[in-house]
Amino acid sequence: MNLRIPGPTPLPPDVIEAVGQQMINHRGPEFETMFAEITDALKLFFETKNDLYILTSSGTGSMEAAIVNTLSPGDRVLAVTIGVFGERFAEIARAYGADVVQMSYEMGKAANPAEVAEKIRAEGPFSAVLFTQNETSTGVTNDVEALAKTIHEAADPSPLILVDGISGVGAIRLRTDAWGVDVVVSGSQKAWMAPPGLAFISFSPKAWEAYAKAKMPRFYFDLGDAKKYAQRNQTPATPAVSVLYGLQVSLRNMLAEGVDGTIARHESIGDYCRKGVQELGLGLFAEPGHYSNTVTAVTLPEGMSASKTLSALRKQYNIVAGSTKAPGVEMIRIGHMGYVSTADLDQVFDALRELLAERG
């Protein structure tokens, strides 16, 4: 099967082999060595010297951890949303009682840094600003560097910056420290080529200052506990050991390619996908200049149904692409993060070419 959804992503053969290994004691020395290696490798891709914790949960758990460890009920939060996952970040903050001001962009658009800064000046102060690095639902990548810079400049003290990098980090550049991003989260089943089940969160010294005052209820995702256990390279509760086995192998492969190499490969596969789509006469949903290098949202011609196209891809070609909804547009998404080759994408283009020809 050619799994072309934007997560879970296909596993390389050596990762599949690794996840099938026998269990070890998660309080024992072998575990501690593995956990330290993985944490250090993740920090290289997050481009951070901040603390980084590995949580056993899907990516959403790390978004929740970002909120509950830095904020209190009633805190004013600016949620900049450009799609479904930005909405989710805002919803989590609301669920825990934050006073959320939501700034929503039309699907397909990226956030405008100058407008975000203006909003902060006009309606601030805010305790935190939340946004998505790579909006998987629309195939749009925000300019995290420019957003972080203008947010820092818009208020003194600057609000905390919490970024959902779940489908970006490990494939699309995010210089956590250099750009001053306080909290960045990601998930194992996206660019990391590991199974679902682990989430990652980097946490700056300023985020720790906020933690000391944060009153939102938390237990499983309390990073104070994660910090205590991380000193021994352990986790407070039993972690997803098998996923860690896989992640260790995929991170070794990623490091062999290097951080820059991994990012460059995604730029190149992203370009390849967009070119292939456009050569078929299909459209790109994302705003030019903000195309995602991990997922492409493809708009279909008038009268061509997304659900029928997805079902034909699956039944006739054994290709599983992603669905997504935006008002008034029929589109599908092609994932191209992690373990993906141009041949995988060629298969998708060939299938789409045939389906388009059948329609006449």
Ligand X SMILES: *Cc1c(COP(=O)(O)O)cnc(C)c1O
Interaction site with ligand X (CB under 6 A): 7, 58-60, 85, 132, 134, 136, 164, 166-167, 187
Task: List the strands of the sheet with 51-56, edge to edge.
Answer: 51-56, 198-203, 183-187, 160-164, 128-132, 76-81, 99-104
The rounded distance, in Å, linking the Cα atoms of 41 and 186 is 14
- Smallest gap from Cβ 165 to ligand X, in A, equals 8
- Amino acid found at 54: I
Of all residues in the shown chain, the one whose CB is closest to ligand X is 59
Structure tokens at 164: 């959902």
The rounded distance, in Å, linking the Cα atoms of 344 and 224 is 43
Partners of 185 in beta bridges? 164, 201
- Smallest gap from Cβ 214 to ligand X, in A, equals 21
- Smallest gap from Cβ 79 to ligand X, in A, equals 13
Comparing CB distances to ligand X, the nearer of 60 and 234 is: 60
Residue 143: CA count within 13 A, CB half-sphere: 16
Comparing CB distances to ligand X, the nearer of 58 and 309 is: 58
- Smallest gap from Cβ 154 to ligand X, in A, equals 24
45 to 120, 127, 275, 333: CA distances (angstroms):
30, 27, 27, 25
Comparing CB distances to ligand X, the nearer of 60 and 253 is: 60
- Smallest gap from Cβ 135 to ligand X, in A, equals 6
- Smallest gap from Cβ 132 to ligand X, in A, equals 5
The rounded distance, in Å, linking the Cα atoms of 90 and 78 is 8
Comparing CB distances to ligand X, the nearer of 158 and 296 is: 296
Residues 6 or more apart whose Cβ sits within 8 Å of residue 157: none
Comparing CB distances to ligand X, the nearer of 286 and 352 is: 286
Comparing CB distances to ligand X, the nearer of 136 and 262 is: 136
Partners of 141 in beta bridges? 134
Comparing CB distances to ligand X, the nearer of 135 and 351 is: 135
Measured torsion, CA atoms of residues 243, 244, 249, 250, in degrees rounded to the nearest 10 = 60
- Smallest gap from Cβ 62 to ligand X, in A, equals 8
Please, is 134 exposed, middle or buried when counting C-beta atoms within 10 Å of its C-beta (0-12, 13-18, 19+)? buried
Structure tokens at 256: 């062999």
Residue 189: CA count within 13 A, CB half-sphere: 17
Structure tokens at 41: 């490798």
Comparing CB distances to ligand X, the nearer of 69 and 136 is: 136
- Smallest gap from Cβ 350 to ligand X, in A, equals 27
Comparing CB distances to ligand X, the nearer of 58 and 293 is: 58
- Smallest gap from Cβ 172 to ligand X, in A, equals 11
Comparing CB distances to ligand X, the nearer of 94 and 353 is: 94
Partners of 73 in beta bridges? none
- Smallest gap from Cβ 60 to ligand X, in A, equals 3
Measured torsion, CA atoms of residues 204, 230, 243, 323, in degrees rounded to the nearest 10 = -20
Cis peptide bond upstream of 13, omega within 30: no
